[in-house]
Structure 1
Amino acid sequence: MSTLIVGATLADGRVRDVRVEGGEITAVEPSLDPKPDERVREADGRRLLPGAIDAHVHVREPGYSHKETWETGSKSAAAGGVTTIVDQPNTTPPTTTGAAFDEKAGLAEKSLVEYGINGGVTAEWDPESLFDRPLFALGEVFLADSTGDMGIESDLFSNAVAAAADEDEVVTVHAEDADLFDESARERDAGGTGRDADADPWSQYRAAEAEAAAVERAVEVGADSDADIHIAHTSTPEGVDAAKSGGATCEVTPHHLFLSREDATELGTFGRMNPPLRSEDRRAGMWDRLVEGGIDIVATDHAPHTVEEKDASLWDAPSGVPGVETMLPLLLAEAREGNVSYERVRDVTAANVAEIFGLPRKGRIEVGRDADLVLFDPEATREIRGEDLHSKCGWTPFEGRTGVFPDLTMVRGSVVYEGGTFGDTVGENVREAAE
C-alpha cells in the first residue's frame, strides 16, 4: 500500500507532501492528491526527517547477549528514529573472518531496522574471506588502544589500511596512542569510584593528547595508501582538527557532546568509556565544531553493559554507555531550542553518513531515495528515563535530560515504530539495500 504524508515540515522548513510507494519516496511536492486506496497520514505541523544512520553500534551479539541482542538493540534504534545501525566487530567471535561474518549476519536477521556489519582486524583476521562478504567497512580498528592488538607503528594496521584501500572500503579507526597513557593516574585515584571530577583519573589515564597523536598517525597511513580514513568517537577539539586537516572524516558521540567530567559525581563508573569524558571546555569546543560544520557525523558508540557490570571500581568496570535510542531525541531537543539547525541535525545523522559510507539511496528526503523516515512533534518533549528505553541494559547516562522522540519511524515505507508499538522485522543488509 502506498502512503501519503500530508503537510510535513522538512529540515529546511519547506512544507511538503511526501508519497511513499514500493519502499521508496516517489514524490515530494507542495501538494499531492491522494490516490485511490492510498493511506494518508496527516503531519499536522510535525516535522519529517530522513531516518538516522548510526554508524557505530555495539549490538553485542554473538557472545554477549545478556547485554544486548539484535532484537533489543534494533527496537531501541527504531524508537529513537534510527533506521540503520552499523555493528562493530568486537563480539565473540570477533568479526574478522568470513565465517564470523556469516554467523553475525544470521543473527542480524532479527533486526527491526536495516543494518551494516563492520569487519575487524586482529592478528588472525582473514581479509580475503571478509572482503568477499557485503562488508560495510573496516572498524572499529584499534590503531593504538591498549586493549587491541596494534600499536601506533604497527605493520598490521598499515597492511589493513592498504588492503581496505584496494577494496574501496572505509577504515574506521579507534585512535588513541597507548604510549601516551598516564599510568600514574591509577596511583592518584583514591578509591576507584570515578566520582571525583577534580581527580579525573580515567580521563587523566587516557590522556587527551593520546587522541590527537593517534589521529595524526592514522591519517598519515591513510594518505600513504590513498585510503578513506574515518575517525571514530573523537572526544577532543584537537582530535577533530587533526582529522580534518589530514583529510579524514570524523564522528562525535552524544556523550562527548552533552557530558563532561563535570558529570562525574553523578555518573561514577557509569561514565567510564573509551575515549573518556573530557573537560567542560573541550566538550563546548566539540559542540561548536558540530554546529559550525567541523564534525562530519554523530554516531553513538552504543556500548551497553548491565548495571551489575558497571557497578564496580573505576578500573574494573567495563567501558561504554548505551545511546542509540537517545541520539536523535537529544539533538532534536537542541534544535527545538535553536542551538543547532534541523538541517545540521539531518546532515550529521543521515545525509553525511550516507555520503561517507556509500549509501546513495539513504540520508535525504528526495525522489528515488529509500523511504526511511522519522515523523516527530518538536513541541512534544519528554524526560529521558532509562526505564522507558528499550535497550536490554535498562539504563542511560542521560537520565533526566530532555528529548524529542519520534511519533513514527518508517524503514523503506514499513512502519517499524509508532506510538510505542513496534512493527515487523526488516532483516536486510544495508549494503545490499544500497545496491
Structure 2
Amino acid sequence: MSTTLIKAATIVNEGKTFVADVFIKNGMIDKIAPHIDTAADLEINAEGLYLIPGMIDDQVHFREPGLTHKADIFTESMAAVAGGITSFMEMPNTVPNTLTQELLADKYDIAQQTSLANYSFYMGASNDNIEEVLKTDPKNVCGIKVFMGSSTGNMLVDNEKTLENIFSKAPILVATHCEDEATIRHNMAAFKEKYDDQITIDMHPLIRSTEACYKSSSLAVELAKKYNTRLHILHISTAKEVRLFDNKTPLAEKRITAEACVHHLWFNDTDYATKGNFIKWNPAVKTDVDQAGILQGLLDDHIDVIATDHAPHTLDEKNQPYLQAPSGGPLVQHALPALLEMHLQGKLSLEKIVEKTAHNVAICYQLEKRGFIREGYWADLALIDLNDAWKVTKLNTFYKCGWSPFDGQTFSASITHTFVSGVLAYQKGKFMTNQTGKRLTFNR
C-alpha cells in the first residue's frame, strides 16, 4: 500500500490537542511526532486543519438488501466518508430482515464489494430466532439488535419470555430500540378518536411519548441488571431516560451504556412547524427540555456515544400525510458538521466530540485498533477546517434519497479529507472509489 504523510495537523485525541505530523504506512498509523521527514507517496499540508479519529457510527440503516430505491451500501457509505464517518454498524431491518446467519453473511459480502467505509452488521432478534442469535460470532459481529418497539417485518420483540431469553443468553452486546408498543398504540387510538385522520406531525412526540420511551428503557435496564447483559440503549430522546444511566463507573467496565443521536441534539418540537415529516423519527424529537437534558447527559457522561440513526426515505414517501409518512431521515454526511457547529456555538468541546463519536464507541464495542490516533492503529482519520463555511444544498448532498433534514443550513466547518483504513477515500468533494473499507473486528 502507499504511504501518506500528514504535516502540521492540529490533532485532537484522548483529551489533548497538539500539533504534530502523522505518517501512515500499510493502512496503519506508523508514527506520530512533532516533525517527520520520511518521504511519502502522498504528503498533505494540514497546517491550520484539525485531525481527528474518524467518526464510528454505531447505528445506521443503509437499506440494502430489499429497499435500495431509498439507499444502498455504496451510496450511503459514500455520503458517510464525505461526512468524516470512517466506520458504520448497520441495522437488520432490511428486506428480508437479517434474522439468520446466512442473511447476515450476505450483507457482509455486499459491503466487501461496495462499501467505501469500514463496516459491521448487527444480527437481528425476533420472537422466534434465538437459535440463530446464539450462533453470532462475537469477534466479527458488532452486536444483536432488539426492537423493543415498532419495526418492520418480524422484528418487534414484545414477548416477555423471548426478551428474558435474549438478555440471559446473548453472547455479545445487545443494542435496543426502546419504545413501549402498548403505550404508543393506546396514545394513537386516543388521538385518532379525537382527530380522526387529521393527526399532524406536531402530535408525533405526544403519541410516541416520553412515557413510552421511559417504560421500555427502564425495562431493558432492569433485564440487563438481572442477567448482567451487556446492554446498549440506542437514541435516547428524553431527559427522563438520562437518569437511568451510571456516570461513575469507568466506561470499559460499564455493562449498561447509552447513545444519543444528532437529531435529538439539534432539533426540538418547535422545528416541526418548518421541517414537518422531514424530522419525523422514532423515537420522536421532543421538547427543548429533553434536548437540553440529552446534551447535559453527554457532558456529564450518563450518555456515552453519539450516533446518527441514518434512515433515509424518498421525498415522495416523506411528503405523504403524517400517518402515511415513514419515520427516519438521512444524516451521515451532516452529523459531524452539525456537531462541529455545536462546538463553535460553545456547546461541545472538540475533545468531547471525539470522545463520544470515536473513542467511546471503540471502547463500548471493544473494537480492534480503531477509534484513536495511536501508533499501530488503523488510520481512520478526518481532517476538518473550522473556517470553511458551506451551505447544504441538493447539489452537494450525496444520499441516494437526494435530501437532508439540514437542507438550507449553513455550516461553519467542513471535512476536507477522510482516510479509511489508511486509504484517502474523500478529498474536498471527490471520492476515491477504487478501494473499499474493511470489516470491523472486536476484542472479545
Specify the TM-score bucket, using the shorter chain as the normaliser. over 0.9
| Count of residue pairs brought into register by the alignment | 424
CA distance in 1 between counterparts of 2:421 and 2:293 reads 36
What per-residue deviation string (whole Å, max 9, x for no partner) do you get for residues 57-81 of structure 1?
0010001000000110100101000
SS in 1 for 2:176: strand
* 1:267 positional shift: 1.6
Provide the rounded CA distance (Å) in 1 between the counterparts of 2:261 and 2:193: 29
Say if 2:262 and 2:308, in contact at 8 Å, map to a contact too.
yes
> Residue 268 and residue 14 in structure 1: after superposition, are their counterparts in 2 closer, same or farther (change >3 A)?
same
| Structure 2 match to 1:425 | 435
Q: Secondary structure at the match of 2:351?
A: helix
* Distance in structure 2 (CA, Å) of the matches to 1:18 and 1:193: 55
Corresponding letter in the other structure for 2:8 = G
Q: How does 1:39-188 map to 2 (within 5 A)?
A: 39-109=42-112, 110-125=114-129, 126-131=132-137, 134-139=140-145, 141-145=146-150, 148-151=155-158, 154-164=160-170, 167=171, 169-181=172-184, 182-183=187-188, 184-188=190-194
Deviation string 1:123-152 (CA, Å, 9 cap, x unpaired) is 34222444488321011x11244764322x
Residue matched to 2:230: 228
- Could you list the runs of 5+ residues in structure 1 that have no partner in the other structure? none
Structure 1 counterpart of 2:31: 27
Q: Aligned residue for 1:248?
A: 256
Q: Distance in 2 between matches of 1:346 and 1:329?
A: 13
**Paired letter, 1:76:** A
SS of corresponding position for 1:242: coil
1:180-224 per-position Cα deviation (integer Å, ceiling 9, x unaligned): 2213123344764735xxxx3111111111111211110111122
Rounded Cα–Cα distance in structure 1 between residues aligned with 2:299 and 2:408: 24
Give CA-to-partner distance per residue, 1:342-380, whole Å, 9 cap, x none: 000101110000000111411111111110010111111
Once the two structures are TM-superposed, the CA of residue 101 in structure 1 deviates from its matched residue by 0.8
Which one-letter code corresponds to 2:381 in the other structure? L
* SS of the residue 1:14 aligns to: strand
Q: Compared with structure 1, are the counterparts of its residues 79 and 293 closer, same or farther at alpha carbon in structure 2 (3 Å cutoff)?
A: same
Tell me the distance in 1 between the aligned counterparts of 2:55 and 2:322. Answer: 33
Aligned to 2:11: 10
Structure 2, gaps ≥5 residues long: 248-253
d(CA) in 2 for partners of 1:226, 1:293: 21
Q: CA deviation at 1:302?
A: 0.3
Tell me the TM-score normalized by structure 2: 0.91
After superposition, the C-alpha distances for 1:286-341 in whole angstroms (9 at most, x for unaligned) are: 12222333321111000000000111111111111111111111111222333211
Q: Counterpart of 2:297 in structure 1: which amino acid?
A: R
| Equivalent AA in structure 1 for residue 124 of structure 2 | G
Report the Cα distance in structure 2 between the residues aligned to 1:10 and 1:187, rounded to whole angstroms: 57
Q: Is the 8 A contact 2:93 2:151 kept in 1?
A: no
Please name the residue that 1:405 is paired with.
Answer: 414
| Aligned AA (2:148) | L
| Shift, 1:381, TM fit | 2.0
Q: After the TM superposition, which parts of structure 1 deviate over 6 Å for at least 4 consecutive aligned residues? A: none
Percent identical among aligned pairs is 32
* Cα distance in 2, alignment partners of residues 5 and 328 from structure 1: 21
C-alpha deviation, 1:270, in angstroms: 2.0
Give the Cα separation in 2 of the matches to 1:44 and 1:190. 60
Q: Partner of 1:315: helix, strand, or coil?
A: coil
User: Contact between 1:219 and 1:247, CA under 8 Å: does it hold in 2?
Assistant: no
Work out which of the residue numbers 206, 209, 212 in structure 1 matches 2:211. 209
Equivalent-residue separation in structure 2 for 1:142 and 1:28 (angstroms): 42
Report the more deviating stretch, 117-126 or 73-82: 117-126
Find the aligned partners of 1:48 and 1:381 in 2 and give their Cα distance: 18
1:308 aligns with 2:316: yes
Amino acid in the other structure paired with 1:217: L
Aligned partner of 2:401 in structure 1 is 393
Aligned to 1:366: 374
